[in-house]
């Protein structure tokens, strides 16, 4: 992204937007940064923080509403797509609603970006899109495929689309860290399964991965940040030291371990110093030197999962992060 551009962020009042907006205003000084979301109360709260900044605009709308997207994208150069139905049990019990937002909404945005002359669009994905076992993951896999193939749909000179994928965002609303912190005074902490592992990423790291995608992409790439893993018992100990545990079982649609790259994607995956890149299987784009750049091909049986990860975060490191970010945990 160049400076003085017009940027639109779907789902902009969520956890990602709380960091993307101030960081992007500082780094890129956009002419406009449009927050597109359907939650008027969250927009009202966010406007209190940025209301005096003439660069920040607020636009009520839903990605399910194709006509509203077309209106919002007038004169927009870059789009970040963060809007989604994300909570796994919610999607399991309300599958049609999840499909409408995550799949139909993606199709609406792709069409609107192409027709309104947007230069580039980066969509946020999730570890759950890799070998999905729940509906949320299945819809995000479909969404990823749509954004990848959108480059072919757009034609040679049309909008370019890419995807970024990462796992558990540390301290975000509804995630495990604020949940354990809220239970710190309880006699026992509820643990789904003592074997469970999770990837750990901060929101600033997620924002920086999106920036990198905009700078690096030719279209169709899926970027996966290299991040550490933790065992659920270690996360609990960092959040609430010394508490006993009670195993309550895995929720519907939940995985024991997170996976961001499956073995089936290995033939099209390349490794870089700080990330991996899954290239499209279509049109031989996975063999395109412009997309590969200085990447190193991964092994044929490679998979990037939280239990076999080479990098691990220890209890003291997470505890230090919690202490440094105590005021914002669970509020973004």
Residue at 210 is within a domain: yes
Per-residue pLDDT at 1: 85
CATH assignment of the domain containing 144 = 3.40.50.720
Tell me what pLDDT residue 328 has: 79
Show the domain range for 208.
Answer: 6-168+200-226+259-303
* Token code pair at residue 124: 């946020």
Outline where DSSP puts E strands in the chain: 6-10, 32-37, 56-60, 78-81, 120-126, 160-166, 188-191, 197-199, 222-225, 229-231, 244-247, 259-261, 269-271, 275-278, 296-297, 304-305
Active-site residue, from 120, 128, 140, 226: 128
Q: Per the domain annotation, does 120 fall within a domain?
A: yes
Q: Does residue 246 lie within any of the structural domains?
A: no
Mean pLDDT of 278-307: 96
Q: Tell me, letter by letter, the H, E, C secondary structure of 56-118.
A: EEEEECCCCCHHHHHHHCCCCCEEEECCCCCCHHHHHHCHHHHHHHHHHHHHHHHHHHHHCCC
Residue 94 has phi, psi (to 5 degrees) of -135, 60
100 burial class (0-12, 13-18, 19+ CB within 10 angstroms)? middle
In a domain, 314, yes or no: no
Q: What is the mean pLDDT of residues 63-84?
A: 97
- In a domain, residue 322? The reply is no
Is 128 one of the annotated active-site residues of the chain? yes
Q: What's the pLDDT tens digit per position in 134-184?
A: 999 999 999 999 999 999 999 888 999 999 998 778 888 778 888 888 887
**Rounded Cα gap, residues 7 and 36, in angstroms:** 10
Domain count, the chain: 1
Is a pLDDT exceeding 70 seen at residue 332? no
3-state secondary structure of 18: helix
**Strand partners for 7:** 33, 78
pLDDT at 193 (0 to 100)? 93
* Residue at 251 is within a domain: no
User: Alpha-carbon distance 285 to 12, whole Å?
Assistant: 31
Contacts of 86 (CB under 8 A, 6+ apart): 126, 136
For position 114, what pLDDT does the model report?
98
Task: Answer yes or no: is pLDDT of 87 > 90.
Answer: no
Rounded Cα–Cα distance for residues 16 and 194 (Å): 29
Which residues touch 109 (CB under 8 Å, ≥6 apart)? 10, 63, 69, 79, 81, 121
Q: Looking at the domain assignment, is residue 331 inside a domain? A: no
Q: Considering the domain boundaries, does residue 240 fall inside one?
A: no
Give the separation between CA 232 and CA 274, rounded to whole angstroms: 24
């Amino acid at each position: 992204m160049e400076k003085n551009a017009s940027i639109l962020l779907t789902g902009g009042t969520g956890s990602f937007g709380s960091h993307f907006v101030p960081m992007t205003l500082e780094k890129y000084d956009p002419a406009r940064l449009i927050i597109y979301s359907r939650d008027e109360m969250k927009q009202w709260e966010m406007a209190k923080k940025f209301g005096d900044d003439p660069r920040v605009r607020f636009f009520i709308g839903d990605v399910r509403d194709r006509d509203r997207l077309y209106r919002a994208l007038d004169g927009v150069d870059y789009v970040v797509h963060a809007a989604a139905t994300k909570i796994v049990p919610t999607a399991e019990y309300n599958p049609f609603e999840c499909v409408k937002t995550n799949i139909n909404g993606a199709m609406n945005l792709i069409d609107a970006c192409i027709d309104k002359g947007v230069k580039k669009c980066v969509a946020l994905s999730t570890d759950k899109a890799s070998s999905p076992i729940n509906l949320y993951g299945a819809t995000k896999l479909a969404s990823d495929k749509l954004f990848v193939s959108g480059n072919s749909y757009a034609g040679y000179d049309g909008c370019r689309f890419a995807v970024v994928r990462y796992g558990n965002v540390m301290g975000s609303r509804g995630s495990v860290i604020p949940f354990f912190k809220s239970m710190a005074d309880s006699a026992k902490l509820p643990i789904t399964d003592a074997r469970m592992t999770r990837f750990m990423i901060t929101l600033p790291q997620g924002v920086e991965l999106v920036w990198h995608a905009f700078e690096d992409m030719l279209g169709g790439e899926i970027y996966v940040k290299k991040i550490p893993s933790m065992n659920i018992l270690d996360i609990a100990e960092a959040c609430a030291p010394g508490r006993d545990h009670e195993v309550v079982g895995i929720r519907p649609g939940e995985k024991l371990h997170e996976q961001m790259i499956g073995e089936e994607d290995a033939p099209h995956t390349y490794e870089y110093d700080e990330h991996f890149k899954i290239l499209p299987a279509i049109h031989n784009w996975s063999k395109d030197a412009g997309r590969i750049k200085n990447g190193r091909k991964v092994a044929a049986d490679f998979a990037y999962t939280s239990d076999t990860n080479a990098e691990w975060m220890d209890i003291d490191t997470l505890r230090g992060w919690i202490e440094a970010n105590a005021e914002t945990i669970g509020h973004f």
